[in-house]
Amino acid sequence: MSALTMVQTIARTLDEEMARDDRVVVLGEDVGKRGGVFLATEKLFDKYGPDRVIDSPLSEAAIIGAAVGMAAHGLRPVAEIQFADYVYPGFDQLVSQVAKLRYRSGGQFTAPLVVRMPAGGGVKGGHHHSQSPEAHFVHTAGLKVVFPSTPADARGLLKSAIRDDDPVVFMEPKRLYRAVKEELPDDLDALVPIGKAAVRRVGDDVVLVSYGGSMAETTRAADALVEQGLSPHVIDLRSLAPWDEETVLEAVARVGRVVLVSEAPKSASVMSEVAATIAEELLDQLLAPPLRVSGFDTPYPYAQDREYLPGPARIMRAVQRVLDY
């Protein structure tokens, strides 16, 4: 298979899964002839037609509400929310209906659906096109949440999400949509398991944990640390609910120092949970407190978005703090 960007990979993966299983349908605003605002559903309408690639009204409540009805009656819908910031009109449908359908029906119904949404900043989108709302969904029992950072992981996780019998919130780092290309496996069943982190680099001096768009900055910081003679251990969570406690705790127990990187606001974040778990399980093995490098507890800014994002300089300062502790 040729090298593809992340957004090309998503379009290709949707095509593969729709060809494999005629229960898979795509719905959302402009997903049809337009191919989506980022072209993540490009050419699907021409191939599968309006019954399987459905242009929806401008209503996130309708998109998610229709998707849960489809899922309950045997389809496997993939609903697109144009930007993660737009999901809130459909928030009640997602957290009160989708997430609870299996539990409230005693297993008589399931909700095998995927809700895709581009998330995060770095594209000069301002405060209505740059938010990272993953903590809302991680906090909701019944939802699985994934946030890949590479084309290959986007493909494998999207396949796993579509084939899963539970609802999956599939978050996509839009600033990485066209940042890199990656060779993908020819195997149409090459899945990435939900709940399993990826170790991107093995090291002994400090553990760096991140996911999604922030992996790009974390990787650059790790490269700079190597140039300084340090040995960082880099983990990409990929899945946020469930998250891979075993991989993270094993690395932190061995190294003793950890920096957690995410562009989401700091308070009550996913990384707050990771830090709390590390502290609960490994307090006697830590050589320094876990440090978080994150976005700020403010609305996402327009003119200062690069200052808001946790860049390599901020990550490296945190690393120095845990090394000096």
pLDDT digits (tens, 9 = 90+) for 191-240: 999 999 999 999 999 999 999 999 999 999 999 999 999 999 999 999 99
How far is 57 from 34, CA to CA, in rounded Å?
14
- Residue 139 among the catalytic residues: no
User: Which one, of 296, 288, 274, 283, lies nearest residue 318 by Cα?
Assistant: 288
Residue 163 structure tokens: 């084939």
| Domain residue ranges in the chain | 3-183, 198-324
CATH C-level class of 3-183: alpha beta
pTM, 2 dp? 0.96
If phi > 0 it is left, if psi is from -120 to 50 it is alpha, else beta; for residue 69 that is alpha
Total number of residues shown for the chain: 325
Q: Round to whole Å and give the CA distance between 316 and 321.
A: 9
CATH of domain 198-324: 3.40.50.920
Of 76, 88, 97, whose CA–CA distance to 161 is shortest? 76
Give Cα 98 to chain centroid, integer Å: 19
* Tens-place pLDDT, residues 52-74: 999 999 999 999 999 999 999 99
Residue type, 213: G
Helices (H) and strands (E) in the chain, counts: 12, 12
User: Of all residues in the chain, what percent carry a pLDDT higher than 90?
Assistant: 93
Amino acid type, 88: Y
Structure tokens at 283: 């307090």
Of 73, 129, 136, 139, the active-site residue reads 129
Average pLDDT taken over every residue of the chain: 96
pLDDT of residue 125: 83
pLDDT in tens, 7-45: 999 999 999 999 999 999 999 999 999 999 999 999 999
Residues above pLDDT 70, as percent of the chain? 100
Instruction: Specify the amino acid at residue 281.
Output: E
Question: What six digits make up the tokens of 241?
Answer: 């609910």
Tokens for 122, please give them.
């770095």
pLDDT tens-digit series, residues 268-319: 999 999 999 999 999 999 999 999 999 999 999 988 888 999 999 999 999 9
pLDDT digits (tens, 9 = 90+) for 243-261: 999 999 999 999 999 999 9
What pLDDT is attached to residue 186? 85
The reply to whether 3-183 and 198-324 are identical in fold is yes
Contact 257, 207 (CB under 8 A): yes
What per-residue confidence (pLDDT) applies to 1?
A: 64
CA distance 207 to 184: 28
